[in-house]
Amino acid sequence: MAEWLVSTDLDGTLLNHHSYAFEAVLPVVARLKEAGVPLLLNSSKTLAELRAWRETFHLSDPIIAENGGIVAQSTQSVRYLGTARTHILSLIHAWRAQKGWLFEGFADWTLEQVIEQTGLDPQAAQASMQRDVTEPIIWLGSPPGLVEFQAFLAQNQLQLQKGGRFYHVMAPHDKASALKQLQPDYPNRKILALGDGGNDRAMLAMADIAVVMPNAQGDYLQLEPQNNPQIIYHAPQQAPVGWAQAVSHFIFQEAL
């Protein structure tokens, strides 16, 4: 049996997009742990949120938070690979005031508004507001304005990545660039990656097996075939059941 490493998105992939349900994955997560297969939570979520999920899943593997902007080996060792959010906010808020661009983000919202935007419970919403290197926003202006906004970001070594719910303003890192930093710790392991959104594209592209989960509309992210022999699998069922089925099949050779 091949030695595997699993890197997974959370929202809409491991957790149901609407209800955040995850119970169906628990037996499979336990089996991965038993088999010594590292399971890396690799998400746009914050370190505080992912630490809570790591506890829920009884995992001790590294965490990749805020779209590859933070790598946390353990509570003692945290590497910040992104640009400080305070810097990001000072730039985008100044442009908004000057240009009248219409967008809102986590920095503008109260706890109640974050709960409304995300559907998270108060404790999780609080953890989602503890951001270090990314700012999730919703664009309320025109599409050409968004293009102009992106050009300004690029001039300042920043970018916009599309997640399941928000655009994320951040430095040019992603889930794959952070995963590559951890890869030397797992020599000779093949990568099974699971995701559903645009911010999963690079991570899925570098995987030996890419499991694409259906998004909230039931559509699949389209991936370009890679050079390496790669399996691209469209999970027929949404999270969490689709995740459990795909991992059971590809890691434990169970029938789909």
Site of interaction with Mg ion (CB under 5 A): 9, 11-12, 164, 196-197
Runs of H (alpha helix) within 57-200: 85-99, 111-118, 122-128, 143-155, 175-182
Least distance between Mg ion and beta carbon 76 (Å) = 29
Least distance between Mg ion and beta carbon 176 (Å) = 15
**Residue 83 vs 161, nearer CB to Mg ion:** 161
**Residue 62 vs 214, nearer CB to Mg ion:** 214
| Closest to 197 measured CA to CA, from 4, 5, 14, 6 | 14
Least distance between Mg ion and beta carbon 9 (Å) = 4
The Cα 70–Cα 73 span in angstroms is: 10
**Residue 83 vs 199, nearer CB to Mg ion:** 199
Least distance between Mg ion and beta carbon 3 (Å) = 26
DSSP 106: G
The Cα 237–Cα 252 span in angstroms is: 18
**Residue 11 vs 174, nearer CB to Mg ion:** 11
**Residue 15 vs 92, nearer CB to Mg ion:** 15
Least distance between Mg ion and beta carbon 199 (Å) = 7
Residues 6+ apart with CB under 8 A from 82: 66, 67, 68, 69, 70, 132, 133, 134, 170, 171, 173
| Closest to 22 measured CA to CA, from 7, 35, 10 | 10
